[in-house]
């Protein structure tokens, strides 16, 4: 059957948006209630969201901020980084992971990733540790847990902090432990496409009470009282500025959107798992595509369903395949193009593609298919049909 991009009939007339959020009437009603309450900034609903998230992860503290980038930035800020310091992380991630290291004036050190999961390889981390290394930032790519025992052992031996980039990993567990309690801090995202969304937002989980108090202070200008604590009781209460903080708080308007998503988080995960298994069953017998791996001892968050194209079996590139899917009415994404291939990092640090060959190879072949509780069974069938159509037509 001829693909739509070649003049054939598309699988779908209505475009299937990639990363469609699962927003329901109860979420809308909670936002409306916040608007009617007269309090839309940081306040009681954000505190409720923090409590729910702490209970879900098992962390002592959960501190809401306005993005995962802010969460990573504040967490690294606890390390007093300078120009001589290094932080090791994965090149196969979103730019914010590495950008925040540079914003603190430190040096980004990439360690190549594992072939299967795409997560940072502890063997390569060990090779990159020097006397200047201050921290490791593992990225739980797509929601697949990193090998945290190995990473934590390396960090303990070398006296390094461990700050997890858990942007994809709200439901991720490693050996029955939530990734939010592994290391000094973990940072989560509630961006529009995430498994729980507040349109944008982030959370830091930590069992370190001193860090938690510092985060709360710095996210709100470094003052001793938030607006909610100043005005919720009778009479104005004075505040003091005790540190040069930032404006990084999450608002009640945003938190309201996420509260009921937290209540149904496990049901949503189960629906994404159903879709995941439907994809696995369909694609495992197709030539030209590899399905994503499952953790041997842990739980995948099912945030993204990344497939790898076997380009040697196809007559088109990954990017051309993505465009062909689009023409069929199916949205898809790329997660990610390794940072050492991006212009800024390549030009600034002189990286070459083969400096991190596994990350480069994965970058060239991977694309993410739609995965959301908002998908209908027909949506899922359409994705499968479109992928099979293209694999068959463009087979070598």
Catalytic residue, from 107, 134, 194, 216: name it: 194
- Buried residues in 278-317 as b, exposed as e (16+ CB within 10 A): bbeebbeebebbebbeebeebbbbbbbbbbbbbbeebebe
How would you label 8-33 residue by residue, b for 16+ Cβ within 10 Å and e otherwise? eebbbeeebebbbbbbeeebeebbee
* Residue 7 DSSP SS3: coil
Element (H, E) at 136: strand 133-137
Distance CA 222, CA 242 (A): 6
**Contact partners, residue 366, CB within 8 Å, separation at least 6:** 118, 306, 307, 308, 309, 318, 334, 335
Find the DSSP H helices in 140-183.
148-158
Burial of 231 (0-12, 13-18, 19+ CB in 10 A): middle
Q: Does residue 9 have an active-site annotation?
A: no
Spacing of C-alpha 197 from chain mean position: 11
Query: What is residue 208's DSSP assignment?
Result: -
Nearest to 195 by CA among 6, 13, 20, 385: 20
Instruction: Show the 3-state SS of 279-339.
Output: HHHHHCCCCCEECCCCCCCEECCCCCEEEEECHHHECCCHHHHHHHHHHCCECCECCCCCH
Residues with catalytic roles: 194
């Amino acid at each position: 059957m001829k693909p739509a991009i070649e003049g054939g009939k598309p699988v779908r007339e209505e475009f299937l948006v990639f990363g469609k959020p699962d927003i329901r009437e109860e979420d809308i009603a909670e936002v409306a209630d916040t608007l009617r309450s007269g309090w839309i900034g940081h306040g009681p609903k954000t505190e409720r969201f923090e409590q729910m998230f702490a209970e879900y992860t098992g962390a002592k503290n959960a501190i809401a901020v306005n993005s995962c980038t802010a969460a990573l930035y504040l967490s690294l800020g606890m390390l007093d980084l300078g120009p001589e310091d290094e932080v090791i992380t994965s090149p196969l991630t979103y730019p914010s992971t590495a950008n925040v290291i540079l914003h603190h004036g430190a040096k980004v050190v990439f360690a190549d990733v594992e072939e299967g999961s795409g997560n940072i390889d502890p063997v390569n981390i060990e090779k990159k540790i020097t006397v200047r290394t201050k921290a490791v930032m593992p990225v739980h790519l797509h929601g697949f847990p990193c090998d945290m025992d190995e990473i934590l052992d390396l960090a303990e031996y070398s006296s390094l902090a461990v700050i997890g980039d858990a942007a994809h990993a709200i439901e991720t567990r490693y050996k029955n432990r939530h990734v939010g309690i592994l290391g000094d801090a973990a940072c989560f995202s509630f961006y529009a496409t995430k498994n729980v969304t507040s349109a944008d937002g982030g959370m830091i989980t930590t069992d370190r009470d001193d860090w938690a108090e510092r985060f709360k202070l710095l996210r709100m200008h470094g003052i001793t009282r938030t607006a909610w604590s100043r005005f919720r009781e009778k009479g104005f209460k004075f505040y003091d500025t005790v540190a040069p903080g930032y404006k990084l708080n999450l608002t009640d308007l945003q938190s309201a959107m996420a509260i009921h998503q937290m209540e149904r988080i496990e049901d949503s995960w189960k629906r994404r798992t159903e879709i995941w298994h439907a994809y696995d069953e369909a694609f495992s017998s197709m030539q030209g595509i590899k399905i994503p791996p499952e953790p041997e001892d842990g739980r995948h968050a099912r945030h993204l369903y990344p497939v790898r194209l076997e380009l040697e079996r196809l007559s088109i590139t990954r990017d051309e395949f993505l465009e062909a899917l689009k023409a069929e009415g199916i949205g898809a994404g790329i997660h990610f193009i390794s940072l050492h291939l991006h212009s800024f990092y390549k030009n600034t640090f002189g990286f070459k593609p083969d400096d991190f060959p596994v990350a480069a190879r994965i970058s060239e072949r991977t694309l993410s298919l739609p995965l959301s509780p908002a998908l209908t069974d027909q949506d899922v069938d359409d994705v499968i049909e479109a992928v099979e159509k293209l694999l068959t037509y463009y087979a070598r």
